[in-house]
């Protein structure tokens, strides 16, 4: 039976239906959930600006203001999508859902190797909370995960299969994509576990040198170097900020004064392991149980050790970092799914665990329609304020700053003003709407505030209208 026929058979099975339902649920949420501040709306606005201005070299966080925090690959994908389908949440998130699905297809052969349905790795992935979340979140992390997956599995297949050319090149394609997705961190998260695995299994230098380093290295440079060069030319200072600041200073100092974007925030040391366990529930506990019972087997099994090194290196690397977020664990969801697949046939409680895992998307569907959850989502975005019937884009303002979501949904038309500007506008008696942060109300005179009508009042801010 050919590979294509096997895949068709996979989809005709109950597992195929389960996978399609899981992927469909995530796609549904991609369409109905608004962009939330700050991270997702920020990346969404960067993509919108790229599509609007046609500047595909220098990402912008506002008109004329370059965005130096990340390389452009994810922004390119979102910008292309909204150029085709319009400025919607669905269009912005669609590329990340597609990448998530591509990752599941990348893992199908590993299911077939264990003589089980090839979609089981994908089902496991889509029931991992961290992966399910990011299958529709506008960020750089899903593309980085895909890149690391290509790099790691390309390396494994090169050394352990008869086919050499394609896996060898995929190894370098993964690095090139990673450099464009999130930068040199692709090498930091991929190379050490590969090095440790080679040491343990005494992989000779001769076999390592069989990897097409010259051709592959040239391919990687061809993919990534032109953009870095053009970016520095068009936005001088980027290389210094991105390589030194984002990859070193922020790692060791969460209060780094040079941080232009304010993320991530300080976290307790070692919290990354909590993020890992929680983000991989309930499968993380299954693997811990297997690891406890068969530590010696892992040490002597090349495939298991390869996957465990892949899983453990990332949280180990970030253990001492005070500046991190839970999304840093996303790349290790792939080896977690492959480890579950490796043990699938011997798991006595797999049906029970599967039912528990499938409960996550079901709970999310139910939770979305729970009023407190809808209020939380509504308060985390300015979408409803921007689309209020009284708001006109030509006379829409924010004080003392605008959110990324208000900028995105107003298509960049919302303007930031000072308290003096506000007083002058009231004196001119021209109609306008304004979002004011509650913390800054004392900066506005009581006389001015008395003339503003509250349209929407929220915990952190309120929408006001004059005349």
User: For residues 33 and 26, is the Cβ–Cβ distance under 8 A?
Assistant: no
CA dist 239 and 241 (Å) reads: 6
User: Over the chain, what is the mean pLDDT?
Assistant: 88
Handedness of CA 88, 89, 92, 96 (dihedral sign): negative
Residue 259 has pLDDT above 60, yes or no: no
Question: What backbone phi and psi angles, to 5 degrees, belong to 272?
Answer: -60, -30
Average pLDDT for 423-451: 88
Average pLDDT for 43-70: 93
Number of Cβ atoms within 10 Å of the Cβ of 22: 23
Residue 264 has pLDDT above 60, yes or no: no
Tell me the helix, strand and coil percentages in the chain, rounded to 5. 70, 5, 25
Residue 235 has pLDDT above 50, yes or no: yes
Residue 309 binned pLDDT confidence (cut-offs 50, 70, 90) = very high
Average pLDDT for 421-426: 88
Half-sphere exposure of 278 (CA within 13 A, CB side): 10
Give the residue among 371, 318, 76 at the shortest CA–CA distance from 185: 318
- 331-380 pLDDT, tens digit each: 999 999 999 999 888 888 777 888 888 887 778 777 777 777 777 777 88
CA dist 393 and 216 (Å) reads: 50
Q: 446-457 b/e with 16+ CB inside 10 Å = b?
A: eeeeeebeebbe
- 196-219 pLDDT, tens digit each: 999 988 888 888 888 889 999 999
The counts of H helices and E strands in the chain are 25, 7
- 57-90 pLDDT, tens digit each: 999 999 989 998 899 999 999 999 999 998 899 9
Residue 245 has pLDDT above 70, yes or no: no
Burial of residue 254 (CB within 10 Å: 0-12, 13-18, 19+) is middle
Residue 168 binned pLDDT confidence (cut-offs 50, 70, 90) = confident
pLDDT of residue 160: 86
Percent of the chain with pLDDT strictly greater than 90: 52
Half-sphere exposure of 354 (CA within 13 A, CB side): 17
pLDDT of residue 256: 47
User: For residues 327 and 333, is the Cβ–Cβ distance under 8 A?
Assistant: no
Give Cβ neighbours of residue 300 (< 8 Å, ≥ 6 apart).
Answer: none
pLDDT of residue 261: 56
Question: Which of the residue ranges 146-150, 318-322, 444-448 has the most confident prediction, judged by mean pLDDT?
Answer: 146-150
pLDDT of residue 356: 83
Cα 54 from chain centre: 24
pTM for this prediction: 0.91
Give Cβ neighbours of residue 183 (< 8 Å, ≥ 6 apart).
Answer: 70, 71, 242, 243, 246, 247
pLDDT of residue 11: 87
């Amino acid at each position: 039976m050919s590979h294509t026929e096997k895949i068709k058979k996979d989809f005709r099975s109950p597992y195929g239906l389960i996978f399609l339902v899981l992927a469909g649920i995530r796609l549904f949420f991609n369409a109905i959930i608004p962009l939330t501040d700050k991270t997702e709306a920020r990346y969404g606005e960067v993509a919108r600006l790229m599509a609007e201005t046609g500047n595909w070299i220098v990402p912008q966080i506002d008109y004329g203001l370059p965005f130096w925090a990340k390389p452009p690959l994810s922004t390119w994908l979102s910008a292309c999508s909204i150029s085709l389908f319009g400025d919607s949440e669905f269009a912005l998130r669609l590329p990340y859902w597609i990448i998530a699905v591509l990752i599941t297809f990348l893992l199908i052969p590993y299911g077939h190797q264990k003589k089980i349905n090839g979609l089981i790795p994908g089902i496991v992935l889509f029931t991992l909370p961290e992966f399910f979340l990011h299958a529709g979140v506008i960020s750089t992390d899903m593309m980085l995960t895909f890149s690391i997956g290509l790099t790691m599995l390309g390396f494994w297949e090169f050394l352990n299969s008869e086919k050499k050319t394609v896996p060898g090149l995929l190894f370098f394609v993964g690095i090139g994509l990673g450099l464009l997705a999130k930068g040199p961190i692709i090498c930091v998260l991929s190379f050490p576990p590969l090095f440790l695995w080679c040491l343990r299994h005494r992989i000779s230098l001769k076999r390592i040198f069989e990897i097409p380093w010259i051709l592959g290295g040239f391919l990687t440079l061809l993919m990534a170097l032109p953009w870095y060069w053009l970016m520095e030319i068009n936005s001088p200072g980027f290389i210094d900020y991105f390589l030194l600041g984002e990859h070193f200073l922020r790692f060791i100092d969460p209060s780094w004064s040079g941080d232009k974007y304010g993320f991530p925030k300080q976290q307790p040391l070692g919290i990354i392991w909590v993020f890992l366990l929680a983000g991989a529930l309930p499968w993380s506990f299954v693997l811990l149980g297997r690891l406890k019972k068969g530590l010696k087997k892992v040490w002597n099994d090349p495939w298991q050790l390869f996957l465990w090194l892949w899983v453990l290196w990332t949280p180990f690397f970030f253990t001492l970092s005070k500046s991190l977020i839970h999304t840093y664990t996303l790349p290790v969801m792939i080896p977690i799914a492959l480890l579950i697949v490796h043990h699938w046939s011997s798991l006595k409680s797999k049906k029970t665990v599967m039912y528990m895992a499938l409960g996550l998307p079901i709970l999310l569907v139910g939770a979305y329609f729970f009023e407190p959850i809808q209020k939380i989502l509504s308060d985390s975005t300015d979408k409803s304020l921007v689309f209020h019937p009284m708001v006109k884009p030509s006379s829409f303002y924010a004080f003392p700053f605008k959110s990324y979501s208000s900028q995105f949904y107003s298509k960049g038309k919302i303007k930031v003003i000072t308290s003096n500007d506000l007083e002058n506008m009231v004196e001119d008696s021209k109609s306008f709407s304004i979002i004011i942060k509650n913390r800054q109300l004392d900066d506005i005179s009581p006389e001015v505030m008395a003339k503003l009508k509250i349209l929407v009042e929220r915990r952190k801010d309120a929408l006001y209208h004059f005349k």
